[in-house]
């Protein structure tokens, strides 16, 4: 344990697993990013049913 303890000091402080466990604060989102994220939500709402449809369509093809 001791022979490695000195090595640990070589690392940048935030390299340590314990320190990187603390969450970062939420980002303050600008109007532009908020709009972008809402567009992304709409995209996701459209994309997810397509994926589900694709799976069931492929299931039918396989039968």
Partner 1 sequence: MDADAATGKATETVTPTVWTPSREDLMRAQDRRVVNVARLARRPFWLLLLLAGPGILVMLGENDGPSMLSYATTGANYGIGFFVPFICLTFLMAFVVQEMTVRIGVATRRGHAELIFDRFGPFWGYFSMIDLVIGNVLTLITEFIAIRAGAAYFGIPATVALSVGLLIVLVALSTRRYFTWERFALVLSLGNLLFVPAALFAHPDPAAVLHALATWSPIAGGVNATFVMLMLANVGATVTPWMIFFQQSAVVDKGLTRNDIPQGRLDTGLGATFAAVAAIATVIACTPLFMHHVDAARLSGGTDFASALRPFIGNAGAALFALGIIEAGLVAAMTISTSSAYAFSEVMRCGHSLNLDFSSGSPFYMFAAGSAVLAALLVLSPHAPLLAITLTVNVIATLLMAPALLFVLLLANDREIMADLANRWRSNLAGGLIIVMIALMGSAYGLITLFPSLLPK
Query: Nearer to partner 1 by C-beta: 31 or 55?
Result: 55
> Considering the rule CB under 8 A, would residue 18 count as an interface residue with partner 1?
yes
Selected binder of partner 1 within 31, 42, 44, 45 (CB under 8 A): 44
Total residue count of the chain as it appears in this document: 63
Taking CA atoms, 59 is separated from 47, 48, 51, 56, in Å, by: 19, 17, 12, 5
Which residues contact residue 29 at a Cβ distance below 8 angstroms, ignoring those fewer than 6 apart? 37
Q: Which residues bind partner 1 (CB under 8 A)?
A: 1, 4-5, 7-8, 10-12, 14-18, 20-21, 23-27, 29, 33, 36-37, 40, 43-44, 47, 50-51, 53-59, 61-62
């Amino acid at each position: 344990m001791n022979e490695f303890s000195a090595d640990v000091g070589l690392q940048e402080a935030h390299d340590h697993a314990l320190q990187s466990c603390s969450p970062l604060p939420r980002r303050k989102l600008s109007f532009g990013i908020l709009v972008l994220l809402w567009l992304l939500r709409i995209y996701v709402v459209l994309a997810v049913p397509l994926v589900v449809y694709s799976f069931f369509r492929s299931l039918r093809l396989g039968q």
